[in-house]
Structure 1
Amino acid sequence: MFDIGAAELLVIVVVAIIVIGPKDMPKAMRTAGRWIGKLRRMSGHFRAGIDEMVRQAEIEDMEKEWAERNKRIMAEYPKGTDPAGGAPDNLVPPQMEPLAAADEVPDPDAAAEAAIRRAAPKKAPEHAASDPQEPPLPLDPPPPPPSEA
């Protein structure tokens, strides 16, 4: 902000000592520090206010854009029931179907077992080297030793 170098600062200190005097210098420095602190706080509040105004303006712009998009989509697909209009083919995939109430399920144990089977992770297929020249994967078991006949 103020491009003050070491030489300028030295001149300011010498002039201050001459004008204020060494006796009153600590009091003057304390007063200057308080004023600088107040200026920094006020500039911080001012900057925060400006940032908030910018943020509010951006939010208003986004809301206008979303309203325009919504209006265009609603004009294009007034019913919203066909998949081209944004309606999904299947709202919930079968594995995400909600569980039925306990009194609606004829066999709660069977339903629980089926839910556990659906949620169980599937085991990845084992790696089998089709080519004997292919290098093994790092976690593959070591190849059997060659048989001596």
Structure 2
Amino acid sequence: MPDMGFTEILFIAVIAIIVLGPDKLPEAMVQIGRFVGKIKKMWRDATADIRKELELEEMKEEMQKYKKQLEELQKKVDTDVGEINSGLTSLDDLTAMGKKKDFSDMIK
């Protein structure tokens, strides 16, 4: 807000009294006060909305990072599970071969 000295404020008050007259001046001051209050409220609301949008954008970026990390972990888990499954298959094959061998030894 611009800096206004006492003389500037006094000058504006004298002009307002001359233009509006002493009867309408208090009502005009009330209306000006309400208008300024509405402008301040609109400004606060707009800045709050902008802050919320910025926070929301930051949260979206952070969620994307976590999603990427989760996908990488899922790929790693899938790879590890595949390796374990192939290892189990090999173990099953060995066990099956061992059983066949034992069974064949029993027949002879």
| TM-score computed with the length of structure 2 as normaliser | 0.61
Partner of 1:38: 38
Task: Quote the residue 2:70 is aligned against.
Answer: 70
Q: Which amino acid aligns with 1:71?
A: E
Higher relative contact order (CA 8 A, sep 6+): 2
Gaps of 5+ in 1: 82-149
Counterpart residue number, 1:55: 55
Q: What's the secondary structure of 1:4's corresponding residue? A: coil
Q: Which residue of 2 aligns with 1:21?
A: 21
Looking at structure 2, the residues matched to 72 and 8 of structure 1 have their Cα atoms a distance apart, in angstroms, of 67
Deviating 4+ runs (over 4 angstroms): none
Query: What is the CA-CA distance between 1:4 and the residue it aligns to?
Result: 2.9
Which residue in 1 is equivalent to 2:101? none
The residue type equivalent to 1:62 in the other structure is: E
Distance 1:60 1:21 in 2: 58
Give the count of matched residue pairs: 79
- More displaced stretch, 60-69 vs 9-18: 9-18
Deviates more, 1:8-17 or 1:30-39: 8-17
* TM-score, normalising length: structure 1: 0.46
More helix by share: 2
- Summarize the alignment of residues 91-106 of structure 1 with structure 2, pairs less than 5 Å apart: none
Q: How far off its partner does 1:74 sit?
A: 3.5
Distance 2:69 2:8 in 1: 59
Secondary structure at the counterpart of residue 77 of structure 2: coil
Give CA-to-partner distance per residue, 1:41-88, whole Å, 9 cap, x none. Answer: 11122112111111111110110111122223333x326x8xxxxxxx
Distance 1:62 1:10 in 2: 55
Partner of 1:95: none
Letter in 1 for 2:74: M
Q: What is the match of residue 126 of structure 1?
A: none
- Unmatched 5+ stretches in structure 2: 81-108
